[in-house]
Amino acid sequence: MMKLVIAEKPSVGVGISAVIGATQRKEGFYEGNGYLVSWCVGHLVGLVDASKYEESYAKWRRDDLPIIPGVWKYFTFDNKRVQFGVLKSLMNRKEVTGIICATDAGREGELIFRLVYQQANCKKPVERLWISSMEESAIRRGFEQLHDGKEFEPLYNSALCRAKADWLIGINATRLFSTLYGKTLNVGRVQSPTLAMLVNRHEKIKHFVKEKYHIVKLALDGIEAISEHIAEPEKAREIEAACQDRQAVCLSLVSERKAVAPPKLFDLTSLQRECNRLFSFTAKQTLDYAQKLYEGKLITYPRTDSKYLTSDMASGLDGLASSAGSFISVSASKPIRASLVVDDKKVTDHHAIIPTAEISKISASQLDVAERKILYLIAARFICAVGERHEYEAVTAVFNCEGHTFTTKGKVIVSNGWKEVDGKLRSALKLKGHDGDDEGVTLSRIMQGQVFSGAKAEMSEQFTQPPKAFTEDTLLSAMERAGVDEADRDSEGMKIKPGVYGLGTPATRASIIEKLVTGGFVVRKGRQLIPSTDGIDLVRVLPEVLKSPALTAEWENHLSLIADSKMSPDGFMRRIEQLARELVAGNTEPVEGLRSVLAGTRAVIGKCPRCGADVFEGKANFYCDNRDCAFVMWKNDRFFTDKKCVLTKDIASDLLSSGIARVKGLVSAKSGKSFDADVEMADSGGRYVNYRYKMDK
């Protein structure tokens, strides 16, 4: 008798195999010690396209909307059929008595496994491995404490509802607004309100009217004091002249003892924000690097929304702090303050991201630069989080010079506390500055009533500043907090679960940003995220219901309630289906004037050889503007990709105008040599357009 363990990725499968003794390598799995261990390679099974429900849905027509499947259908991704076949074969082995789901311990991991399990028509009992670390001890402990798979049915229901909701809104809204405006407008349940936030910020910056003001700076023996904002330049010049080379007196000196508590441990969003701010990593890059560190057993599970640890971990934190300190060459506070990071009530599916004990077994030089930076951050954050407070004296001095008031502020450090570790980290990573802190001590020399002679005054012209464009750091923060200021009940009077709000989840926000970028709706300009013309156009035509962060945050709350068995999946889906119907019923005509504006942004590539309508360029194809015509030329057509070539706009234009295009740089699959040739379009009116070499007659 054997049990089949199914991981989410090959690297995780290999790690588990080594721990449980399944050491015999086979084709697509490992075997040994009563176990078979295989993997999913991410999503193997997904929801089918609309055209699989009815062939007529292959054409986009508004009259077909809304498309709401009665019975949902699934398919296996073509490029993953081999691995699916391996899993199905292993599930059907007679000696396999049960399945252990070892995909990532979260909503999406549960969905990945369940869809494969169902598509394979497996009925064998399921147990769940739920771990937050790939350390050997954590894996062994997880196998000793396997959960009944039935406990995770609600989590699966939540994940499936998320997938279906995205399908329903994505398919129906995209087709609806694309047919209304004659241009492909991709709409997403989460990406649309995220895009709307970017566009709204862009518009505020674009229409910002800067206002001029003036200040007068007063130099007093190395101290710089500043006047209030002055609207009139004449008034500022008068103050400058009046104070030049005059005496100034310190009217007041206020010193206030302050303390900065240690920072919280990282969850995924805060780690992504810090990496973007310090290293300009994208959210996806940070997640990918963190995933590698997790699979390498060096950090705990990264896809978490918690910044705390559980009480059962408290006893091991002293040793972990010592290991983390050795890795980054600093000493942790003794004793560490574990109470700052331990709170069972604030831990959700997974605890905060921390280094593992394995960190003591490696040196920084064994990691690539990006992974090393992230591991340094996580190790330093852990030591800071259990360290002492940073204490200082905040000093404010007010001066009078010829009847005018000037102010300066400074700081006197009392105890560096956790910031000592933070400073050493910044030095090790060659990061400039001290996180914006002014740690100067010049004000400690000032006394109330002190007189300064020969003041130097200088007027300067200043301008109010527009809002800053979003970076991934600030956008992730905005996505995380979307809806947080709303009432504690949703639009249907349902109480919102504490701490559940925002656009997407920590695990999905990176992919949402990437979809907006790869879809051409957002462009990266340095660290800034700027909406493109297509992105601005899309937000202009969408109704408020699809742009509202509050609505999507409400949906995330509902999905969380489903995972907690406090809400019916069927009830949630009925709400989503009703929204799809209302979208179609409420948007029967394009907004006046916008259809022509949107259509005008497209360049005509040529005329359709089938119906004579204009052909335009899409993200992945060249398509006929007539939705009743099936003519489309795909950029990744195999005729071209097999020859290491892409169907470009110039080639497509030539083919549409004369039926023939001269294509350079084709590569022979047999010889590998490059050649040029005349390519002819051979359209027979079918689903796909065919191509061939033009033969001399």
Residues with a catalytic annotation lie at 301
> Measured between alpha carbons, how far is 540 from 406 in angstroms, rounded to an integer?
47
Listing DSSP states for 99-117 in one string gives EEEES-SSHHHHHHHHHHH
Q: How many residues does the chain have?
A: 697
CA angle 253, 259, 261 (to 5 degrees): 160
218: enclosing H helix or E strand: strand 212-220
Distances (CA, A) of 597 to 285, 459, 536, 591, 618: 36, 48, 12, 11, 17
- Tell me which residue of 347, 341, 351, 295 sits closest to 321, measured CA to CA: 341
User: How far is the first Cα of the chain from the last one, in angstroms, to the nearest whole number?
Assistant: 69
Residue whose token pair is 């009077």:
493
Preceding omega of 66 cis (within 30 degrees of 0): yes
Q: Which residues of 402-413 are buried (b: 16+ CB within 10 A; e: fewer)?
A: eebebebebbbe
CB 626 within 8 A of CB 620: no
Q: Give the residues across from 255 on adjacent strands.
A: 395
Residue whose token pair is 């599970």:
301
- Tell me which residue of 406, 401, 285, 304 sits closest to 354, measured CA to CA: 304
415: enclosing H helix or E strand: strand 404-415
